[in-house]
Amino acid sequence: MRPPCAALVLAAVAALLLLLLAPAARADDGGCGADGAAAARGGDLARARALKIAAFFSILVCGALGCCLPVLGRRVPALRADGDVFFLVKAFAAGVILSTGFIHILPDAFEKLTSECLPAGGPWKDFPFAGFGAMVGAIGTLVVDTVATGYFTRLHFKDRDAAAAVSAAPVGDDVEKKKQQATAAAPHAGGCDDHEGHVHMHTHATHGHAHGSTAMHKEHALRHRVIAQVLELGIVVHSVIIGISLGASKDPSTIKPLVVALSFHQMFEGMGLGGCIVQAKFKLQSIVTMVLFFCLTTPVGILVGIGISSVYNEDSPTALVVEGILNSVAAGILVYMALVDLLAEDFMNPKVQSRGKLQLGINVSMLVGVGLMSMLAKWA
């Protein structure tokens, strides 16, 4: 999947989320959340609106900063993709994403899908739908990850083999002509033929090594392109929900801690996504598209939440079910991406395995990311 096409898919997903949440905005809550609504009417709505505007710009700037740091760091030798610092930054960001899935999103999904506001006769309290949704999200990500990587890998090798077949025949003819000319010109210099054959074999071996190295780099880049796009999909799902929930909130005491917490949340997630974008070696246009889409998703969700705040009720059964299922699936996606595509790949990297200090460093960096993001759960 090319990045522009991926951006269109992500935009379609975001639009679908908004359409799913729209009916929830007007759904009857059956009396749930009435106390919160009364408290909201008595609160300072003007102050809440000011905090939402501050949150819009704060989250936008922090998201852009976090996502652009690894991208702009390509021009700094210490932050290049194969450097030690990049391994440490990526481990920290992967820990943040892992904590986001386990500590922030999955518990919220369980809370919504077991809420007292859900119909008593429904199936929601008889089956762990949040855990099921997370499992489906992880398995779905595995399928997309492996199928997309396999497809692009086969396509790449098919093109490479076709190019090799076209160029093989002329090379053979040229070599044969040179050998005949050398034999006719110097029939007495038998050692020269051996030397020419040796040089020819050495040249082709060197060419094959270079070509194999290039193919390996291309396959590695294709793999990271799939990772970056799937990771952004998982981030988009819960970013839309976070933005709408924040924008629809009417209580300043609830919004105020969320502004700081979500700003750091967005910056840390952006660092993880930015690291994947760097390793994927996208073109400039694709990088700008993915960065802009990441940066704008939560702020746009805030604007939508502000627009529907007068009618939106987060305690309605429809809102609880939609948000709970989407959060659980997003948690599964992020947990899979953090463990399999980010942490496992770097932890098993030969460069890390052969250097004890670097291995210790990325473990500590991961734990710091997990710890800091888990602490933010107290406020967001």
Q: List the one residue out of 251, 256, 246 whose CA is nearest residue 46.
A: 251
Q: Give Rg (Cα) of the chain.
A: 27
Question: Coil, strand, or helix at residue 117?
Answer: coil
pLDDT at 8 over 90: no
pLDDT at 62 over 80: yes
Residue 140 CA, chain-centre distance (Å), reads: 15
Task: Please compute the mean of the pLDDT values over residues 195-212 and round it to a whole number.
Answer: 50
| Lowest-confidence region among 176-185, 305-314, 350-359, 366-375 | 176-185
Report the distance separating Cα 347 and Cα 340, nearest Å. 10
pLDDT recorded at residue 322? 85
Report the distance separating Cα 82 and Cα 277, nearest Å. 14
91 and 328 Cβ atoms separated by less than 8 Å = no
Report the distance separating Cα 317 and Cα 123, nearest Å. 12
Task: Please compute the mean of the pLDDT values over residues 339-364 and round it to a whole number.
Answer: 91
21 and 319 Cβ atoms separated by less than 8 Å = yes
In this predicted model, what pLDDT tens digit does every residue of 222-247 receive, in sequence order? 777 888 888 888 888 778 888 888 88
| Lowest-confidence region among 7-16, 197-206, 210-219, 314-323 | 197-206
Domain boundaries, the chain: 43-120+138-161+215-379
Cβ neighbours for 185, distance < 8 A, ≥ 6 positions apart: none
Report the distance separating Cα 332 and Cα 325, nearest Å. 11
| Lowest-confidence region among 87-91, 138-142, 310-314 | 310-314
**Structure tokens, 190:** 């038998």
Q: List the one residue out of 109, 112, 113, 107 whose CA is nearest residue 125.
A: 113
What's the whole-number average pLDDT of the chain? 77
Residue 138 CA, chain-centre distance (Å), reads: 13
113 and 132 Cβ atoms separated by less than 8 Å = no
Report the distance separating Cα 11 and Cα 5, nearest Å. 10
| Lowest-confidence region among 137-141, 311-315, 323-327, 333-337 | 311-315
pLDDT recorded at residue 110? 93
Q: Is 94 left (phi over 0), alpha (psi -120 to 50) or beta?
A: alpha
DSSP symbol at 44? -
| Lowest-confidence region among 255-269, 281-295, 322-336, 345-359 | 255-269
b/e code 251-267 from CB counts within 10 Å (16+ = b): bbebbbebbebbbbbbb
DSSP symbol at 283? -
pLDDT recorded at residue 106? 92
- Report residue 38's pLDDT band, with 50, 70 and 90 as the boundaries: very low
pLDDT at 130 over 60: yes
Question: Coil, strand, or helix at residue 354?
Answer: coil
Angle at 243 between CA 239 and CA 248, to 5 degrees: 150
The pTM is what? 0.72
**Structure tokens, 140:** 């779905």
Report the distance separating Cα 65 and Cα 285, nearest Å. 18
Report the distance separating Cα 238 and Cα 14, nearest Å. 10
